[in-house]
């Protein structure tokens, strides 16, 4: 994408633009290409600034900032998580993000990230499963059929080869909606009446529930040898989905341990309990699955580098698609030190009008 001719202009990708971009590219192609960008950035993990996200917690939910930089670009995401919102007709998670030039500090992109976060979360989940699940995995159980579920299913189909889905939610209407939305997308779909039924015969188990509480979505007896668990829903302090005994039986992979120990499933374990970093597997610095009988667990909480990758990918699509508008976001005085002069010139124009 070429730089705007006016220094005050920043490309803005709205929700409508994002939807049109996904549809123009094709959702499975979008997920596959985004996954490749995430893998590229994980291979150069050591180049990035890394810090746990900055969170403001309340009894109702959480508001977070997620920043990172590779020394050339800087990116951050603003995101919330408020499970009660669905009862008020609002999204549980909303987000927007910014990508900037480290050299001059100017923003290069402002984008919605509610839809984009769902896409990058699904792509990240599938990337992890690509490296950790058994090679012949075909069946996935999705427990929690909310806003993330269809994206997860399509990412696992495109990237891992999943063709059978077993769906369960405590709200049957959520399962019905998910099955309806995924009809004709190349899946054999079974709607289940319990989480126990959903995991029967599953190669991969995705848990993606929303309630902010310590929960046991999976009990120890539900997880057999060789399963890969994609634990997505436990993503803040006081919110988990798996029984502790499952963790103790699993080979655990995380994004960024200092953040995951606060927010992930492993908040249930001792602070020094050994876990493995997924970036090392992707970069070829350590092995992934050890055997066909190993239980692998991706304790996913989402990390800023994934959002950086998503923003970088979206920006790469703007010139060819034109799916953005120019946003007059930054002051651009005729002389950089004469900011007040802009007000005087504006005042003069208003008087002339």
The domain segmentation of the chain, as residue ranges, is: 9-115+306-341, 133-302
* CATH 2.60.40.10 for domain 9-115+306-341: no
Given this model, what pLDDT does residue 56 score?
93
Class level of CATH domain 133-302: alpha beta
Instruction: Give dist(CA 198, CA 165) in Å, integer.
Output: 9
Given this model, what pLDDT does residue 59 score?
87
Instruction: Give dist(CA 52, CA 257) in Å, integer.
Output: 9
Q: Is 235 a catalytic residue?
A: yes
Instruction: Give dist(CA 308, CA 220) in Å, integer.
Output: 35
Residues of the chain with pLDDT under 70: 1-7, 210-213, 234-236
Q: What is the DSSP letter of 135?
A: T
pTM score, two decimals?
0.93
Given this model, what pLDDT does residue 347 score?
96
Instruction: Give dist(CA 117, CA 4) in Å, integer.
Output: 26
Given this model, what pLDDT does residue 143 score?
96
Q: How far is CA 68 from the centre of its chain?
A: 15
Given this model, what pLDDT does residue 4 score?
45
Given this model, what pLDDT does residue 217 score?
86
Residue of 169, 235, 251, 299 marked active site: 235
CA dihedral 345, 347, 351, 352 (to 10 degrees): 20
């Amino acid at each position: 994408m070429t730089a705007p001719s006016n220094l005050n202009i920043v490309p803005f990708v709205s929700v409508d633009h994002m939807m049109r971009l996904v549809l123009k590219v094709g959702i499975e192609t979008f997920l596959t290409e985004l996954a490749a960008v995430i893998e590229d950035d994980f291979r150069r993990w050591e180049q990035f600034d890394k810090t746990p996200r900055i969170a403001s917690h309340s009894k109702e939910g959480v508001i977070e900032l997620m920043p990172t930089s590779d020394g050339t670009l800087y990116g951050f995401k603003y995101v919330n998580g408020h499970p009660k919102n669905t009862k008020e007709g609002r999204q549980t998670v909303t987000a927007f993000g910014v990508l900037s030039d480290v050299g001059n500090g100017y923003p290069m992109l402002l984008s919605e990230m509610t839809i984009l976060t769902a896409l990058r979360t699904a792509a990240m989940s599938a990337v992890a499963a690509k490296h950790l699940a058994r090679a012949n995995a075909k069946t996935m159980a999705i427990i929690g059929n909310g806003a993330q579920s269809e994206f997860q299913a399509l990412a696992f189909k495109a990237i891992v080869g999943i063709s059978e889905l077993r769906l369960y939610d405590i709200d049957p209407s959520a399962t019905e909606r998910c099955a309806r939305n995924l009809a004709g997308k190349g899946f054999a779909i079974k709607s289940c009446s319990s989480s126990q039924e959903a995991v029967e015969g599953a190669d991969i188990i995705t848990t993606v529930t929303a309630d902010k509480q310590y929960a046991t979505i999976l009990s120890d007896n539900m997880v057999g040898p060789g399963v890969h668990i994609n634990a997505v829903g436990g993503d803040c302090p006081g919110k988990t989905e798996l029984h502790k005994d499952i963790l103790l039986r699993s080979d655990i992979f995380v994004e960024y341990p200092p953040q995951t120990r606060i927010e992930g499933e492993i908040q249930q374990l001792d602070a020094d309990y050994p876990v493995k970093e997924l970036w090392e597997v992707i970069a070829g610095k350590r092995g992934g699955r050890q055997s066909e009988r190993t239980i692998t667990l991706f304790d996913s909480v989402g990390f800023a580098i994934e959002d950086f990758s998503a923003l970088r990918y979206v920006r790469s699509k703007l010139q060819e698609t034109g799916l953005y508008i120019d946003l007059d976001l930054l002051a651009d005085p005729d002389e950089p030190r004469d900011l007040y002069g802009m007000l005087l010139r504006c005042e003069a124009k208003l008087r002339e009008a």
